[in-house]
Structure 1
């Protein structure tokens, strides 16, 4: 069972975005309305930032998190699942790895943290991806739709700002319109957003998916109000010194799925990540002492996530 499109249960998910729009033109209207919302620049106070191959779940009364958000999505798709009764909300940043397991985890966790609210429906919103030349986004869209369709509950697709609906053309090149989204946890309101502060351990988190970590990790404990990173390992990178000597253009061309449309800070982030891998080739030994996660709590004065010292 499971996807509900335009209020109608579907036997099969649509194979691509074009089929979705032909059968359900309402999604074109809602996507056009969404991309017309002004982009907001969101600061660190109250923000829980979710990176690529990560997910997080929280509830409206969480005093530590008022906005869930993610950005830098080019060929990736940001997925939001919310229960309209409890207001429990999950956000994931997906690139094709771990999609099936992530969909199941999002459904399970939203039901868990929102327990006690029988009334309401599960609402799915997809933002990101664009009409890229290699069709990465189109394949990812289908995989996400298929993964949620397989869940044993009804899920209403309420927004699909993906593929051609999230594409503009500049100088003959296809670009994403929206790179990031924020969700106000109290209301479930979704808006285009940019996040200059992407939270702690950024290079470590990027290194995991850059060097083979396939799982979509749940990074937040809403009961304790703690951001949780790891533990995990990643594949060592032979020749990392050589990579660091390469010009920006070569790094961009070889380490991005969409080099023409990456945000300006992409290469800087990758260089910082390569440097981190150089310094910590085996994080299971040097970063996650005794195989323990790195925990962060919200500082009441600064609004930043600060490490918990053991």
Structure 2
């Protein structure tokens, strides 16, 4: 069930509306229009790390960062912020249990993972209290007009709200900064997101536009990027969000993933293309990507070329474990490896 401003949301269509109708009604709801405007007025916070310390203007504390198709449920006793960015045609979803502050954030990229993904997110959130606070943020390139909503983001958004509508829990939507609410255009008519990331403060559920750099997208940045790309070929992750973070222990546990010779050859062939060609071939929204998109793709391919055998990365087919340091960074447990800073 979906609630807005304390009231059960409804549409003019039927008792069992389709996702498209629900989404259009929510996007036009005055309370959510106002909430999107308020969200966009908040200054964007930048996360970066310099020599394992937090730079000026970055909020202090411990955080969990999520890549595309990942999710994490965090305990406010361990984590101050949880967030994601690099979203253009994806949708970020944040769900919080207001009774205990437990917060789950996901970076969803396809309607195919919504049903199972929301179940994964809620598995550690729902107790006897079934009232949940919910925020959406996505940063897309679809049209602002309701007459043309067939871009990448609209089907995903429609699937999310339809699934929430049908679930027994009560979802109180506070922010729906998606589609036209978060789209701007340049003089040539290209669509860009106002923001392509957010963070949630676990102590009070506040949501803030945010951007992270490669020093704060951690731990194990490159391996997690590769895991996202190769998971599409892994049947064990079909229809699921990727699990990387252990809620109870405040540790990252990156399960083994394997890459093939075909993926190695793909990396070898793409590294010779120009930046503009890589954008066109590898992005669903070439004009809206972050400035470091191509550099990140090249680092991804370089890793595959330097480590063609995935068993070098996952010796004995064991997961890669990272525990938090007292300063808030990440390191491999003693006996496993040397200190790993907040970047990898």
Query: Contact 1:71–1:195 (CA<8 Å) still a contact in 2?
Result: yes
Query: Contact 1:82–1:124 (CA<8 Å) still a contact in 2?
Result: yes
CA gap 1:239/1:58 in 2 versus in 1, 3 angstroms = closer
Deviations 1:235-288 (A, max 9, x none): 5413321211111111111100100010100000001111122233453x3322
Q: 1:177 matched to which residue of 2?
A: 194
Query: Contact 1:12–1:149 (CA<8 Å) still a contact in 2?
Result: no
Deviation at 1:26, TM superposition (A): 1.6
Paired with 1:281 and 1:151, the residues of 2 have a C-alpha distance of: 43
Q: Indicate yes or no: 2:2 matched with 1:3.
A: yes
Q: Indicate yes or no: 2:258 matched with 1:233.
A: yes
Query: How many residue pairs get matched?
Result: 299
Q: What is the correspondence of 1:183-194 to structure 2 with a 5 Å cutoff?
A: 183-194=200-211
Paired with 2:130 and 2:114, the residues of 1 have a C-alpha distance of: 25
TM normalised by structure 2 equals 0.81
TM normalised by structure 1 equals 0.89
Q: 2:235 matched to which residue of 1?
A: none
Structure 1, unaligned runs of 5 or more: none
Q: Indicate yes or no: 2:243 matched with 1:218.
A: yes
Query: Contact 2:88–2:285 (CA<8 Å) still a contact in 1?
Result: yes
CA gap 1:219/1:282 in 2 versus in 1, 3 angstroms = same
Query: Contact 2:87–2:140 (CA<8 Å) still a contact in 1?
Result: no
Deviation at 1:211, TM superposition (A): 3.4
Deviations 1:163-193 (A, max 9, x none): 0000111112111111110111111111001
Q: Indicate yes or no: 2:202 matched with 1:205.
A: no
CA RMSD of aligned residues (A): 2.1
Q: 1:305 matched to which residue of 2?
A: 330
Q: Indicate yes or no: 2:263 matched with 1:247.
A: no
Q: Which moved more, 1:155-164 or 1:142-151?
A: 142-151
CA gap 1:257/1:52 in 2 versus in 1, 3 angstroms = same
Paired with 2:114 and 2:307, the residues of 1 have a C-alpha distance of: 28
Q: 2:340 matched to which residue of 1?
A: none
Query: Contact 2:130–2:170 (CA<8 Å) still a contact in 1?
Result: no
Paired with 1:262 and 1:282, the residues of 2 have a C-alpha distance of: 30
Q: Indicate yes or no: 2:294 matched with 1:275.
A: no
Paired with 1:212 and 1:57, the residues of 2 have a C-alpha distance of: 20
> Which of residues 124, 131, 139 in structure 2 aligns to 1:121?
131
Q: 1:85 matched to which residue of 2?
A: 99
Q: What is the correspondence of 1:128-143 to structure 2 with a 5 Å cutoff?
A: 128-132=138-142, 135-143=151-159
Structure 2, unaligned runs of 5 or more: 11-15, 50-60, 144-149, 233-237, 337-344
Q: Indicate yes or no: 2:319 matched with 1:290.
A: no
Paired with 1:262 and 1:21, the residues of 2 have a C-alpha distance of: 24
Q: 2:88 matched to which residue of 1?
A: 74
Paired with 1:282 and 1:136, the residues of 2 have a C-alpha distance of: 34
Which contiguous aligned blocks of 4+ residues in structure 1 show a shift greater than 4 angstroms?
none
Deviations 1:117-168 (A, max 9, x none): x457212110013342661011110122123234332222221100000011
